[in-house]
Structure 1
Amino acid sequence: MTGLPEWYMRFGNWILKLLILNILWFMFTLLGLVIFGLFPATVALFAVIRKLVMQKDDDVPIFQLFWSTYKSDFVKSNCLGIVVLIIGTILFADIYILKQLDPGIMNQFLLIIVFLLIVVYMALFTYIFPVFVHYDTNILGYFKYTIILIIGRPFHTIFMMVSIVALMYVLRWMPGLIPVCGFSIFAFLVMKISSMSLPRMNNNEV
């Protein structure tokens, strides 16, 4: 019982930070007119949570780090986001086209292949943000590191996807949490699981 107050305070501190980060994510997404603000705001959200999770620094200047990441990675994150969206659009368009064709063995085989690629794409879409804020490389490099994590850490990948589905189920029944801290909880969950696979940070690393 002696450790309960400390645990309770730490839990409350995390809830407050996630609430603030969720508000910042909404604000800076709107600042970029949604289309151009979504990916920079998401990257900034993951950058702050990465430092909180991996460096365990309770004194992280949340707004300053969020704003500096948003500005510095605005163009780069949007470029990455465009590539990710194009890949997703092509895959889902393939599904639509294949469903319009006459059913056959080859068609069913192609559908299975595309569905498997979509599963990989969903894992890639989830991992790409932790990879982006952890490594300083080019667009191709982010995809390379992400694929390596997906293939090299299959149990972590499965655990992450199952955890995301569970979180979506909770948010479905408690939709009021989405505008309060839904997106920041998602980022925290993904970053926490990703940190098991990513190299550790030095104490003086930003």
Structure 2
Amino acid sequence: MDKYMEKHHSKFSRLMEWIYQLVVINVLALIATLAGLVVFGFFPALMTVYAMIKRLLDKDDLPLFKTFVTTFRTCFVKANLLGAAVVLIWAVLGLSWFFYLGDLETTFHWIGLVVVGFLAIGAFLMTAYLPISFVTFPRFKNVEHLRFALVMALGMPLATLLIALNTVFFYGVVMIRLVTVAPFLSLSLPAFVNLLLARKKLLGLFVVFADEQVTCRTLNSYPRPEVLWSLWQEAMEDVYPIDYETFVRTSLDPAHADPRFSLVLLDGKEEPVGCLLTVREEDRFSIQLLLVEKGYRRRGYGRRMIEALSDNALTQHASKLVIGSTRGYFNRLPRVFGQSLGFFEKTGFDIRHDEDGFEIDKPLKGVSA
């Protein structure tokens, strides 16, 4: 009986904790919206709500007020630019609707009205997906968010329908009948439900491989690439120490690590245990960094990341993979890392020795048409 009560008490406590967090986040969002004079505050506040709830769903332990302020400041410009694009889209659709509605005596206007109606439905579904895309794929540019949200709205019909129904039900029924709830849950509760419905399916689109221990995804789907520095510290601190700012600037800039082709290896808690950072240079892909945490080595994860990159490189008509780059830390593998030569030999790389280290490359057999 004690265990039964303890189990239900734990669930009740967790429910109360979630309600408290959602209320606090919602109140902070309303304050931030007003602080931004509504026009400049709404979209950053909305994106911050989604970002914080996503982190809570990922079981991050975070101080609500401090995290909200930091996130709001960080996304302020980008969120407002995305919001401006959304407003422009809806303005064009609205003007088009009234234009065609003004004269329904011609077939042309009726057809135009129907077309605008379908476009408005697509825009509504895209708009519902935008905050989810914004916080799930923070490295996307705004144009990519718009395109991705539209593709997902059309390509995931079940999730899209559920998100649309949740949005319509909440704002069309709950908010009308329970107006007093608005200051406390008007943004946070729909965001919570929408993230539950869509985030795992969206992340699944970027999975390269997975097993019971790890999931490998492309870097553009990982919201906190800067924590990869911990992997560097573990593997390279004694050999090539660098500070956090240098790592982020040198390793994670798109000029050094293309997020579409770079990979991150994650454990069950979404913590990084490995990575492969690469960038295209002319007809080759240069691997800037390949790391796997000690506890996850000798399980084939490094080989599988190399194989995944090889497949992607072929689709981009690249001729070879190369270890090192003039843009990165090393233009070849330094001699101090000579113990890794066996791994590269087993994965099909050619190795040439010289005074400065090892020139290592892997010719790609066949190029996709």
TM-score by length of 1: 0.92
CA contact (8 A) 1:149 1:197 kept: no
Query: Could you report, residue by residue, the CA deviation over 1:36-70 in whole angstroms, capped at 9, with x for unpaired residues?
Result: 111111111111011112x133x222222221111
- Root-mean-square deviation over aligned CA pairs: 1.6
Among 5, 13, 23, the alignment partner of 2:27 is 23
Higher helix share: 1
Q: 1:77 Cα deviation (Å)?
A: 0.8
Task: State how far apart, in whole Å, the 2-side matches of 1:88 and 1:67 are.
Answer: 29
SS at match of 1:89: helix
SS at match of 2:200: coil
Among 124, 127, 137, the alignment partner of 1:125 is 127
Find the counterpart in structure 2 of residue 44 from structure 1.
Answer: 48
Where do residues 4-153 of structure 1 align in structure 2 (5 Å cutoff)?
Answer: 4-53=8-57, 55-57=58-60, 59-135=61-137, 136-153=139-156
Q: 1:158 Cα deviation (Å)?
A: 0.7
Q: Which moved more, 1:86-95 or 1:174-183?
A: 174-183
Higher strand share: 2
Report the residue type matching 2:63 in the other structure.
P
- Extract structure 1 runs of 4+ deviating beyond 6 A: none
CA contact (8 A) 1:40 1:77 kept: yes
Task: State how far apart, in whole Å, the 2-side matches of 1:166 and 1:204 are.
Answer: 35
Find the counterpart in structure 1 of residue 162 from structure 2.
Answer: 159
* Structure 2: segments with no counterpart, 5+ residues: 205-221, 223-265, 273-369
Find the counterpart in structure 1 of residue 216 from structure 2.
Answer: none
Over the matched positions of the two proteins, sequence identity in percent amounts to 25
Q: 1:71 Cα deviation (Å)?
A: 0.9
SS at match of 1:56: coil
Report the residue type matching 1:204 in the other structure.
E
When Rg is computed on C-alpha atoms for both structures, the one with the higher figure is: 2
Task: State how far apart, in whole Å, the 1-side matches of 2:94 and 2:167 are.
Answer: 21
Task: State how far apart, in whole Å, the 2-side matches of 1:73 and 1:204 are.
Answer: 23
TM-score by length of 2: 0.53
Q: How many residues align?
A: 203
Task: State how far apart, in whole Å, the 2-side matches of 1:39 and 1:85 are.
Answer: 11
Find the counterpart in structure 2 of residue 174 from structure 1.
Answer: 178
Find the counterpart in structure 1 of residue 271 from structure 2.
Answer: 204
